[in-house]
Amino acid sequence: MIDVQRLRVLRSVAEHGSFNRAAAALHLTPSAVSQHIAALERSLGAPVVDRSTRGVTLTQAGRIMVGAAESVAAELAHAAREIDRLGTSRSRLTIATFTSGGQHLLPGALTRLTAAHPGTVLHVKEVEPEDSLPLLRQGAVDLVLAYHFDGPLPGLHGPGPDVEWIPLMEDPLHVVLPGTHPLAGRPTVSLAELADEPWVLGCLKTEAYLRRYAEHAGFSPDVRGSTTDYFFARSLVAAGVGLSLIPTVALTPALPGVRAVPLDAPTPARHIGAAVLRRPCRPEVSTLIEGLRQDAGVAAGPVRVTPAR
């Protein structure tokens, strides 16, 4: 029989890339970590890590077992929450969300949730998608509000519990210019018209996105500033540091001195949705998803989660 503690140790080794860092995270000695991994390999009859002077990497068997470890952790966390609910008659719901999407969609949805299920104990974590999907797979959160650009949602695929993705809304990016800019009064603007402008990043992940679209438009952007806050980025635009690409949901509250102008097609956009583990939805989760759909303008109806692609 496979020891659950050994799976936990393997998952930590996979996350941290070395026995020493995994040991520190687990409050164990590196020797104890090594012994757990060796015992797991003996029980499986196959190596789960390749050891080198640069650290450790998972073997194919190791990747399979990390997926199993994620599934076990998620099921144990789910069972613990269900038992806690039986003992207290109160349901706990933990949500992970990125900042701008949470500000736009969560308040109304949570208001509906607490009205329909007043005994629910809510916990909200501000987490970016690349970190929130692993938390969902581990059973640490019940629902993730996330986004992706043109590529796949980070952490959606791979070994571990199956994840369902519920599309909620498209979030087009606008170019934000100073109000005095010659193009600020235009109904739309093309990225190629902005080739000679300096740029400010409102989110570090938008840099690759900006550069890809700029390459199609025939230029390389001159990035003069970077932030992790869209309001700060708009403030820098107002101060004349550069222009910025800002998602629609992050354009409020209004900021004097700047103008947001839609981009000509093909318009870059974020794809916002909710993610849950593929299992029957608890009533609280179903209510929350419906609230998110209503605030996103998705047609009302029964909650249907679709397999991630």
Q: pLDDT digit string (tens) for 83-102? A: 766 666 668 899 999 999 99
Between residues 78 and 190, the one the model is more confident about: 190
Between residues 54 and 119, the one the model is more confident about: 119
Between residues 1 and 297, the one the model is more confident about: 297
pLDDT at 279: 77
Q: Is the pLDDT of residue 307 over 60?
A: no
Please give the CATH number for the structural domain made up of 69-169+270-307: 3.40.190.10
pLDDT at 139: 82
H or E element that contains 283: helix 283-296
Reference 61, options 50, 75, 51; nearest CA is: 50
Q: pLDDT digit string (tens) for 205-236? A: 788 888 888 898 899 999 999 998 999 999 99
Using an 8 Å Cβ cutoff, are 156 and 266 in contact? no
Out of 3.30.1300.10, 3.50.50.60, 3.40.50.300, 1.10.10.10, the CATH code matching 4-67 is 1.10.10.10
Q: Is the pLDDT of residue 70 over 60?
A: yes
pLDDT at 105: 94
d(CA 257, CA 234): 9
Taking the complete model, does pTM exceed 0.75, yes or no? Answer: no
- Name, in order, each residue with C-beta under 8 angstroms of 161's C-beta and a sequence gap of 6 or more: 70, 71, 74, 75, 137, 277, 278
Per-residue pLDDT, averaged over 188-202, amounts to 94
Ordered alpha helix ranges (H), 89-189: 99-116, 129-137
Q: Is cis: bond before 268, omega within 30 of 0?
A: no
4-67 and 171-268 agree in CATH topology: no
d(CA 284, CA 93): 8
CATH class of this structure's domain 171-268: alpha beta
Mean pLDDT across the chain, nearest whole number? 86
The domain limits of the chain are: 4-67, 69-169+270-307, 171-268
